Amino acid sequence: MSKLRYAMMKTGDFGTNADCSKNEEYCIYCFQKGNFTLPDATLDQMIEKLVSMHDQMGHTEEEARKMTNENLPKLKRWAK
């Protein structure tokens, strides 16, 4: 299990598909009702958004930055 996946342990942590079912790939902060929450955001902007929410995610800022920098670029949305 990747560290990013570890951040999505409870049902409420997962994003939702258009039919409101759980999306296994993206978290609630990134993906809701089948759409990206910030569709025009760059990878760097999304990393900063998630790092700024480190308290809500139960991590220090340093942990959140390390986790997002290591894992966000691997997601299908950002993979090249």
Host domain of residue 36 = 3-74
pTM for the model stands at 0.79
Q: Is residue 80 part of a domain?
A: no
Q: Name the domain count of the chain.
A: 1
At residue 7 the predicted structure's pLDDT band, cuts being 50, 70 and 90, is low
Spatial separation of the C-alpha atoms in residues 34 and 41, rounded to whole Å: 16
Residue 2: pLDDT band (50, 70, 90) is very low
d(CA 43, CA 17): 21
Cα gap 58→28, rounded to integer Å: 15
pLDDT at res. 5: 46
Q: How many CB atoms lie within 10 A of CB 77?
A: 16
Note the pLDDT of residue 10.
Answer: 82
Residue 6 above 60 pLDDT? no
pLDDT digits (tens, 9 = 90+) for 19-69: 999 999 998 889 999 999 999 999 999 999 989 988 777 788 998 899 889
